[in-house]
Amino acid sequence: MSSSLPEGLCDSCAWRRVIRSDRGSMFYLCERSLTDASYPKYPRLPVLTCRGYQRRTEPEPVGRRTRDQS
Ligand code: SF4
């Protein structure tokens, strides 16, 4: 997926999830944050170094933002 945002490592990371709001805004959720509080839910971009980085090998799902993700 191409993006105009400077995402750094998150762009190719298996743990990144693209969230689209009803208004068309995009957010990048780090799914590692769901089980490890040391990761930010919405990483400050661009992420240049990350101990949790894992290269994505499959297309990522795109989800809708829900209240519990705010
Ligand atoms: S693990 Fe690191 S590189 Fe991967 S999505 Fe989370 S913050 Fe970005």
pLDDT of residue 1: 47
Residue 2 forms part of a structural domain: no
Mean pLDDT (whole number) for 39-44: 96
pLDDT of residue 26: 87
Q: Does residue 47's CB lie within 6 angstroms of at least one atom of ligand 1?
A: yes
* Cβ–Cβ < 8 Å for 60, 21: no
Domain limits for position 16 = 9-69
pLDDT of residue 2: 46
pLDDT digits (tens, 9 = 90+) for 47-59: 999 999 999 998 7
Which residue among 9, 12, 56 has the greatest number of ligand 1 atoms within 8 angstroms of its CB, and so is best to mutate? 9
d(CA 20, CA 39): 21
Residue 29 forms part of a structural domain: yes
pLDDT digits (tens, 9 = 90+) for 1-39: 444 557 799 999 999 999 998 999 888 999 999 999 999
Residue 1 forms part of a structural domain: no
Residue 4 forms part of a structural domain: no
pLDDT of residue 41: 96
Residue 21 forms part of a structural domain: yes
SS3 of 47, please?
strand
Residue 27 forms part of a structural domain: yes
* Per-residue tokens: 9: 């490592």
* Cβ–Cβ < 8 Å for 22, 66: no
* 17 CA from centroid of ligand 1 (Å): 10
Cis peptide before 6 (omega within 30 of 0): no
In the chain, the number of structural domains is 1
